[in-house]
Amino acid sequence: MKQVRNTQAKTEILHLLSNATSALSHHEIQEKLNGLCNRVTIYRVLERLEKEGKIHKIINMDGVVNYAKCNHCNKERHSHNHLHFNCENCKEVTCIENVVPEINLPENFTAHSYNFVISGICPKCSQIQ
Protein backbone atom coordinates (compact mmCIF):
# COMPACT_ATOMS: atom_id res chain seq x y z
CA MET A 1 0.00 0.00 0.00
CA LYS A 2 1.35 3.39 -0.98
CA GLN A 3 1.97 5.67 2.01
CA VAL A 4 0.09 8.97 1.83
CA ARG A 5 1.26 12.18 3.42
CA ASN A 6 -0.37 12.72 6.77
CA THR A 7 -1.72 16.14 5.76
CA GLN A 8 -3.67 14.62 2.86
CA ALA A 9 -5.08 11.94 5.16
CA LYS A 10 -5.99 14.62 7.72
CA THR A 11 -7.78 16.68 5.08
CA GLU A 12 -9.72 13.66 3.78
CA ILE A 13 -10.69 12.41 7.25
CA LEU A 14 -11.88 15.85 8.37
CA HIS A 15 -13.85 16.21 5.12
CA LEU A 16 -15.40 12.78 5.67
CA LEU A 17 -16.44 13.58 9.25
CA SER A 18 -17.69 17.04 8.26
CA ASN A 19 -20.05 15.54 5.69
CA ALA A 20 -21.20 12.55 7.74
CA THR A 21 -24.76 12.53 9.06
CA SER A 22 -23.69 10.51 12.12
CA ALA A 23 -20.52 9.70 14.04
CA LEU A 24 -18.19 7.21 12.34
CA SER A 25 -16.07 4.43 13.78
CA HIS A 26 -12.41 3.95 12.85
CA HIS A 27 -13.45 0.95 10.73
CA GLU A 28 -16.09 2.98 8.86
CA ILE A 29 -13.56 5.76 8.22
CA GLN A 30 -11.01 3.25 6.91
CA GLU A 31 -13.60 1.71 4.56
CA LYS A 32 -14.70 5.10 3.21
CA LEU A 33 -11.08 6.15 2.54
CA ASN A 34 -10.66 3.20 0.12
CA GLY A 35 -7.04 2.47 1.00
CA LEU A 36 -5.88 6.10 1.03
CA CYS A 37 -3.85 5.40 4.19
CA ASN A 38 -3.27 2.64 6.72
CA ARG A 39 -5.12 2.15 10.00
CA VAL A 40 -2.23 3.50 12.12
CA THR A 41 -2.19 6.76 10.15
CA ILE A 42 -5.96 7.04 10.64
CA TYR A 43 -5.57 6.62 14.43
CA ARG A 44 -2.82 9.27 14.52
CA VAL A 45 -4.85 11.71 12.45
CA LEU A 46 -7.95 11.18 14.60
CA GLU A 47 -5.90 11.77 17.74
CA ARG A 48 -4.44 14.98 16.28
CA LEU A 49 -7.85 16.25 15.12
CA GLU A 50 -9.26 15.64 18.59
CA LYS A 51 -6.37 17.53 20.25
CA GLU A 52 -6.97 20.42 17.84
CA GLY A 53 -10.64 20.59 18.91
CA LYS A 54 -11.95 19.65 15.47
CA ILE A 55 -13.52 16.28 16.35
CA HIS A 56 -14.68 14.44 19.46
CA LYS A 57 -15.01 10.82 20.52
CA ILE A 58 -18.20 9.05 21.47
CA ILE A 59 -18.17 5.55 22.91
CA ASN A 60 -21.35 3.82 21.76
CA MET A 61 -23.41 1.28 23.71
CA ASP A 62 -21.31 -1.58 22.27
CA GLY A 63 -18.05 0.02 23.45
CA VAL A 64 -17.01 1.09 19.95
CA VAL A 65 -15.34 4.51 19.67
CA ASN A 66 -16.98 6.79 17.11
CA TYR A 67 -15.82 10.20 15.93
CA ALA A 68 -17.83 13.29 15.01
CA LYS A 69 -16.93 16.81 13.91
CA CYS A 70 -17.04 19.49 16.61
CA ASN A 71 -19.17 22.48 15.73
CA HIS A 72 -18.26 24.89 18.53
CA CYS A 73 -14.82 23.76 19.75
CA ASN A 74 -11.25 24.86 19.29
CA LYS A 75 -7.89 23.85 20.71
CA GLU A 76 -8.33 26.03 23.82
CA ARG A 77 -12.00 25.19 24.47
CA HIS A 78 -12.88 21.63 23.58
CA SER A 79 -16.28 20.70 24.99
CA HIS A 80 -18.70 18.14 23.67
CA ASN A 81 -20.98 17.98 26.68
CA HIS A 82 -24.14 17.16 24.79
CA LEU A 83 -26.26 14.06 24.22
CA HIS A 84 -25.36 11.28 21.83
CA PHE A 85 -28.07 8.95 20.55
CA ASN A 86 -27.12 5.35 19.69
CA CYS A 87 -29.76 3.58 17.57
CA GLU A 88 -30.22 -0.04 18.65
CA ASN A 89 -31.30 -0.99 15.14
CA CYS A 90 -28.97 0.70 12.62
CA LYS A 91 -26.18 1.36 15.21
CA GLU A 92 -25.72 4.99 14.09
CA VAL A 93 -24.51 7.45 16.72
CA THR A 94 -25.92 10.95 16.39
CA CYS A 95 -24.89 14.11 18.23
CA ILE A 96 -27.84 15.99 19.71
CA GLU A 97 -26.25 19.33 20.50
CA ASN A 98 -29.35 21.32 21.39
CA VAL A 99 -29.97 19.17 24.51
CA VAL A 100 -27.57 19.56 27.41
CA PRO A 101 -28.52 17.68 30.59
CA GLU A 102 -28.20 19.48 33.92
CA ILE A 103 -25.72 17.82 36.25
CA ASN A 104 -25.92 18.31 40.01
CA LEU A 105 -22.88 16.75 41.61
CA PRO A 106 -22.37 16.38 45.36
CA GLU A 107 -20.29 19.01 47.12
CA ASN A 108 -16.54 19.01 46.33
CA PHE A 109 -16.98 17.16 43.01
CA THR A 110 -15.93 19.08 39.89
CA ALA A 111 -16.93 17.85 36.42
CA HIS A 112 -14.67 18.70 33.49
CA SER A 113 -16.52 16.72 30.85
CA TYR A 114 -19.09 14.00 30.47
CA ASN A 115 -20.38 11.63 27.82
CA PHE A 116 -24.10 10.92 27.63
CA VAL A 117 -25.19 8.13 25.30
CA ILE A 118 -28.87 7.35 25.00
CA SER A 119 -29.87 4.04 23.47
CA GLY A 120 -33.11 3.64 21.51
CA ILE A 121 -34.54 3.72 18.00
CA CYS A 122 -33.76 6.63 15.67
CA PRO A 123 -36.44 8.36 13.54
CA LYS A 124 -35.24 6.61 10.35
CA CYS A 125 -35.60 3.14 11.91
CA SER A 126 -38.91 4.09 13.61
CA GLN A 127 -40.44 4.58 10.15
CA ILE A 128 -39.41 1.09 9.11
CA GLN A 129 -41.00 -0.69 12.07
- Domains of the chain: which residue ranges? 6-128
Cα–chain center distance at 21: 11
Tell me the CATH number of domain 6-128, given options 1.10.287.70, 1.10.10.10, 3.40.50.720, 2.40.160.20: 1.10.10.10
Q: Over the stretch 19-49, which tens digit does the pLDDT of each residue have?
A: 999 999 999 999 999 988 999 999 999 999 9
What's the predicted TM-score (pTM) here?
0.79
pLDDT digits (tens, 9 = 90+) for 106-120: 999 988 777 788 999
